[in-house]
Amino acid sequence: MSNNTHTIHRHHHHHGWDHNNPPALTAAPGDTIEIETVDSSGGQLSPQSTVEHIRRLNFDMVNPVTGPIFVEDAKPGDTLCVTIESYRPSGWGWTANIPGFGLLADDFPDPALVLWTYDPGTLAPALYSHGGRVPLNPFCGTIGLAPAEPGTHSIVPPRRVGGNMDIRDLTAGTVLYLPVEVEGALLSVGDTHAAQGDGEVCGTAIESPMDVTLSLDLIRGQNLPAPQFTTAGPVTRHLDGAGYDVTTGVNADLMTAAKDAVRAMIDRLGREHGLDSVHAYLLCSVCADLRISEIVDQPNWIVSFYFPRIVLS
């Protein structure tokens, strides 16, 4: 097994999944790869941006991913094991309400933007400009392989081979298992986040460019039905210290229940902490967790929304 180290620079990025994309790098099982990423705006936003930049976003440039990486000996039906070794954050990020996007898009038709700065060395909780501090835990929002289906496919929705999964537990130490559909697997990575709640309800997290170090391995012939992963330890401890405020939605439709739970939390944050609705919505997206609490007592299901009290304590 190889044990070489490679680097892919951020200019080796693409904007669609396509197994005909030429590889930016060839690596072998056992290799380590240091990857530079571009933020999910595709470099259109910066620490000096204003809400006008959200109005003018070119959506052909969003969600770029660095790669693809051709993995030697990877064949359809195999599983690519990706160990996330470390992140090197940039120290800045953004969260936005993008019109037409997000769980409550109909409730929030106007653009909004919050800029963040944080210490990339200590990863101390980041100050939210409208009140509160958010604990940080960097991860890749998008990490996936090329699909077998021909043509170029949007990076926005997740797929069987991974992609824009926005799973906040893909942090350092996690091992991600991805089903291989094409020769060489063709791994790409991007959309790095400094923090996010489960659900990413407004459609953006703390979007923050950073470098990612991964190591690769292969399992032959496992043919997973969808991505799986193993975490290195607890996944909520960094937010548990002061407990949670929780709202619920009760409905026969899970999506409606999720929306109702989030709306109730936005109202609660406004009532108890004086946050205006859109900035409560953005804050929920970066630190609060949607959970299915009950899905067996038909005809109604319960979705709960957990807001960590430590953020505003």
Are 224 and 245 part of one and the same domain?
A: no
Encoded tokens for 236? 């909520």
**Do 120 and 59 meet the contact criterion of CB atoms below 8 Å apart?**
no
pTM, two decimals, is 0.96
Supply φ then ψ for residue 261, to 5 degrees: -65, -40
Last residue of a domain, one of 210, 230, 250: 230
- Sequential pLDDT tens for the chain (313 residues): 778 999 999 999 999 999 999 999 999 999 999 999 999 999 999 999 999 999 999 999 999 999 999 999 999 999 999 999 999 999 999 999 999 999 999 999 999 999 999 999 999 999 999 999 999 999 999 999 999 999 999 999 999 999 999 999 999 999 999 999 999 999 999 999 999 999 999 999 999 999 999 999 999 999 999 999 999 999 887 889 999 999 999 999 999 999 999 999 999 999 999 999 999 999 999 999 999 999 999 999 999 999 999 999 9
What residue numbers bound the domain in which 241 lies? 237-311
Encoded tokens for 216? 């690769």
Are 246 and 172 part of one and the same domain?
A: no
Are 297 and 259 part of one and the same domain?
A: yes
Last residue of a domain, one of 230, 254, 282: 230
Are 92 and 151 part of one and the same domain?
A: yes
Q: Omega of the bond prior to 68 within 30 degrees of 0, cis?
A: yes
Number of domains in the chain: 2
Encoded tokens for 288? 């609060």
Looking up tokens 């609660």, which residue turns up?
268
Last residue of a domain, one of 207, 230, 253: 230
Are 187 and 289 part of one and the same domain?
A: no
CA distances from 238 to 101, 246, 281, 311 (A): 28, 17, 21, 11
Are 62 and 184 part of one and the same domain?
A: yes
Distance CA 95, CA 113 (A): 6
Distance CA 267, CA 280 (A): 8
Looking only at the bridges linking them, the beta strands covering 289-294 and 301-308 are antiparallel
Are 284 and 193 part of one and the same domain?
A: no
Are 115 and 254 part of one and the same domain?
A: no
Encoded tokens for 36? 């530079």
Are 218 and 244 part of one and the same domain?
A: no
CATH code assigned at 304: 3.10.28.20
State the Rg of the chain over Cα. Answer: 19
